[in-house]
Amino acid sequence: MSMVRPPALERAPGQARFPWSHVAGYALSIVLTLAAFWAVLGHALPTKPLLAGILLLAVLQILVQLVFFMHVGQDSKPRYHLWLFSVAMFFFVVFVVSSMWILTFNTPIS
């Protein structure tokens, strides 16, 4: 015997499902933020390992934001958006690293 679902539980055609991926992304973002906050506030590690840990948590946070909220890499359509994003990240890394080089060594890049 098949079970009949009440009309209140059935979705209308075209009606969106509940965004579980957004909820999971939000929960991961909160966990990563609280982990970084706890590490700094509690002086969990010495300075250099603490900075490395915070950097790791920041990179994980970026990946969570890109995958769960911006849906990077989840389309089956042309991948030029992903390539453009990759090029933009490359230039961002080049700018940040070169700025850190100049600030650290106080020498111009020639």
48-99 confidence digits (pLDDT tens): 999 999 999 999 998 899 888 887 777 777 777 778 888 988 999 999 899 8
Q: What is the pLDDT of residue 101?
A: 84
Q: Is the pTM of this model over 0.85?
A: no
- What's the pLDDT band for 19 if we cut at 50, 70, 90? confident
Q: Which residue bears the tokens 């990179």? A: 59
Q: What is the pLDDT of residue 44?
A: 84
Q: What is the pLDDT of residue 29?
A: 94
The whole-angstrom separation of Cα 46 and Cα 49 is 6
Is 26:1 a contact under the CB 8 Å cutoff?
Answer: no
Around 73, how many Cα atoms within 13 Å sit in the side-chain half-sphere? 7
The whole-angstrom separation of Cα 100 and Cα 93 is 10
